[in-house]
Structure 1
Amino acid sequence: MGKYLFDILNENEEFKIKVLTRRHKGVKFSEFIDRVSYLPKAFFIPYYNYLRKLKDLNEFDYIILNGVPSTIIGSWCLPRSLWEKCIVYIHGTELENYQRQSLFSKNTLYKNYFPLIKASGKIVFCSKFLMDKFKENGVVGDFVTISNFIDKNTFYKIDDYPRKNILLSVGRITKTKGYDLMLDDFKELINKGYDYKWWIIGEGPYKKSLEFKIKNLKLSKHVLLLGKKPIEQLNRYYSQAKLFWLYSESESFGLSYLEANMCGIPFIAKKIPGLEEIRNNEVNSYYRENYGSFSDFIDFLESEDEKQQKELEIITFARQFSKQKFEEKWLDLLSK
């Protein structure tokens, strides 16, 4: 979402912007973007050296800190007198990352992290669930929610692709995404003679283990690991699938679930709080816990009437999470 925010501000003549980021292939130097070297164990040092040389930091009306590393960098490299100009943009696992740190890291690297959040002008969350989680953990500050969005020009149903008996999963392949439970469910489905395929798009640290388990369960001809795909190609896969599924242990918003909805398919997931904001019960989504077996759910899904009308309802619901609303809320925040 940080990239989209940059695009929005860059296209608006009312704003003069400067972006500071680490040097990598995906980011090119321009008059708006400065890049610094990346040092994994001391990532803030190049930023500190860069910011120390700037003479005009006070001229900025706002300093947007996008994610954990940027906020840590700001907490160490920006003068405290500028903290009130900061807008901290929080996306997802910030609290979990902090809680996993050693006591030494909490007392050093993260020492000024929460003081900066408390002193900053605004803290922007991608979901109400995430904001409430910070409040429940005793974090205070001037909080506001600006929901993530799905771009309707990128994610849409391609009518030339007919629906098939395909279950689709998209995202980083990690153990916490629930692949072991999904394999159990899919095995039950195949053992009962259902003619379904499972497409998995993504890469991640759990991929090799997943490949081994697929082979061990003799599911190789039914499960296709497609690797990572460009974002502009994903709707080709969403448009052919009948269902999106992931049994994630936690989500801060659930972008991939909404991507599927924008292409007209529902999702099934575990009952977790982070998905509540994007659910319209049994219109665009289902909870696995509500069905005795996965085959029971598939039977229910296949028995539903007026599938084309249901598809339109799913798309209509997903479109409320629009780029226009995201843009309007950010521009309103930055115009005050």
Structure 2
Amino acid sequence: MKNICFLEGDISRSGGTERVTSIIANELAKRKDEFNILILSICKRNDQLFFYLEPNIKITTVFAQPDYNGKKEFFKIVYKIRKFLKENSVDILIDVDTILDIYGIPATRFNKTKIVSWEHFNFYENLGVKLRDYGRKLAAKYSDVIVTLTKEDKNYFKQNLKIKHNIYTIYNPLILTKKNNDYDLNSKIILSAGRLTYQKGFDMLVEVAKEVLMHNDEWKWIILGEGEDRKKLETQIHKYGLDGKVILKGNVEDIDSFYDKASIFVLTSRFEGFGLVLTEAKTFKLPCISFKCKAGPNEIILNDVNGYLIESFDLNEMAEKIRYLINSELKRKQFSDNALNDTEKFQLDFIKKQWIDLLNNL
């Protein structure tokens, strides 16, 4: 049996990183004869986990308190991780986000623990944290394996860094299945989802909504998710007279019911690591429209087959394509019928096998 540890920043959060970590960890934890799964979280700001974890997964935190200084307490963090790895005889440490390589790699130097660097954004985005760039350089030199979420991003790593060991692409898995009704051609709801942050481009979404909804009074645009840009977006929505038309729903537990009732799914991100919400929308047969941002949408949407890929960040083209879909039931039906084309590569069983093979071959 192999002891596998996921190193997380905060496993209690509601982000896509934590969601995918929980899925993969749970799938591995079900194979009790092969893997013992542990999660080491730098901190845990919420008492309750947002995503379910199998009861046989052991969760430990580096710091009991939620506030810590990652730079000032660098050596303390590395020491605690190293001690945890030794006490639990960890065979493989998976750093969830390459910024954690600044801790995980020193903690695994000169011991038996193998290290996997799991990129969750893309090579060209550091989210304003230069340490993330440094973590990627460490990963290229010292990690036993780097895992990217897209082939596009794998190429960015190979073009910019000399990778000493192996680099693989493992997509995020499809995790929702169509449960209720067939695609509703009569729906007049546009749906978007993600954290209300600069990355997700909801400020651009509101600009597009202003052009789309002014001539389509029966349509509404629902945004699922919460974040630091809420007040700014509320002000922008009110400024354009879109109150009640563009609706900020916040975090919801029944996200599948929103997918089920929607007509079109739109992604306006400035950048992605993958674009998990697009794959979720496709399982509900939704036509998808997205900017061709780095990295992910190009490998999820088949342009003019089950959605549209829009040049980043052409707001006029985005508005034009949404208006066209609104006015063409035939095109929406065509995209819906083709929604699951090219999705075999995202199926959970396939993704799970890739992870199992990777871990068993280390």
Bin the TM-score by the shorter chain.
0.7 to 0.9
**Aligned-residue offset at 1:100:** 4.2
Among candidates 165, 180, 183, match of residue 206 of structure 2: 183
The residue number in structure 2 matching 1:159 is 181
Give % identity. 27
- Provide the secondary structure at the position in 1 that maps to 2:223: strand
The aligned residue for residue 14 of structure 2 is: none
Say whether the 8 Å CA contact 1:179–1:247 is kept in structure 2: yes
Q: How does 1:211-250 map to 2 (within 5 A)?
A: 211-230=234-253, 233-250=254-271
* Bigger Cα displacement from structure 2, 184-193 vs 169-178: 184-193
Q: Tell me the CA shift for residue 320 of structure 1.
A: 4.0
Question: Equivalents in 1 of 2:246, 2:353: separation in Å?
Answer: 42
**Structure with higher strand content:** 2
The one of 61, 66, 73 equivalent to 1:35 is 61
**Residue 8 (str. 1) matches residue 31 (str. 2):** no
Tell me the CA shift for residue 192 of structure 1: 2.6
* 1:245 partner letter: V
Read off the aligned partner of 1:150 and give its amino acid letter: L
Instruction: Tell me the amino acid that sits aligned with residue 62 of structure 2.
Output: V
Deviation (angstroms), 1:248 = 1.4
| TM-score scaled by length of structure 2 | 0.78
1:326 aligns with 2:326: no
One-letter code aligned to 2:354: K
Q: CA deviation at 1:131?
A: 1.3
* 1:22 is the counterpart of 2:52: no
Counterparts in 2 of 1:127 and 1:53: CA distance versus 1, 3 Å: closer
User: What SS class does the counterpart of residue 92 from structure 1 fall into?
Assistant: coil
Question: Unaligned stretches of 5+ in structure 2?
Answer: 1-19
Q: Whose helix proportion is higher, 1 or 2?
A: 1
Query: TM-score when scaled to structure 1?
Result: 0.83
> CA offset at residue 121 of structure 1?
1.7
Measured after TM superposition, the shift of residue 263 of structure 1 is 0.8
Shift of the alpha carbon at 1:95? 5.0
Aligned mates of 1:302, 1:293 — CA distance in 2: 14
Distance 2:81 2:251 in 1: 34
Q: 1:166–1:243: 8 Å Cα contact kept in structure 2?
A: yes
Structure 1: tracts of 5 or more residues without a match: none
Distance 1:317 1:198 in 2: 27
CA distance in 2, matches of 1:98, 1:306: 37
* 3-state secondary structure, aligned to 2:126: helix
Partner AA of 1:72 in structure 2: I
Q: Which runs of 4+ in 1 moved over 6 A?
A: 28-31
Among 112, 117, 122, which residue is 2:145 paired with? 122
Aligned length: 324
Q: CA RMSD in A?
A: 3.1
Contact 1:158/1:235 (8 A) holds in 2: no
Q: Deviations over 1:122-145 (max 9, x none)?
A: 111111122112222224231111
Partners in 2 of 1:91 and 1:67 — Cα distance? 5
Aligned match of 1:169: 192
Aligned equivalents of 1:214, 1:31: Cα separation in 2: 43
Match for 2:319 among 294, 298, 304? Answer: 294
Q: Mean alpha-carbon deviation: is it higher for 1-10 or for 286-295? A: 286-295
Given candidates 276, 291, 312, the residue that maps to 2:298 is 276
Which residue matches 1:87?
Answer: 116
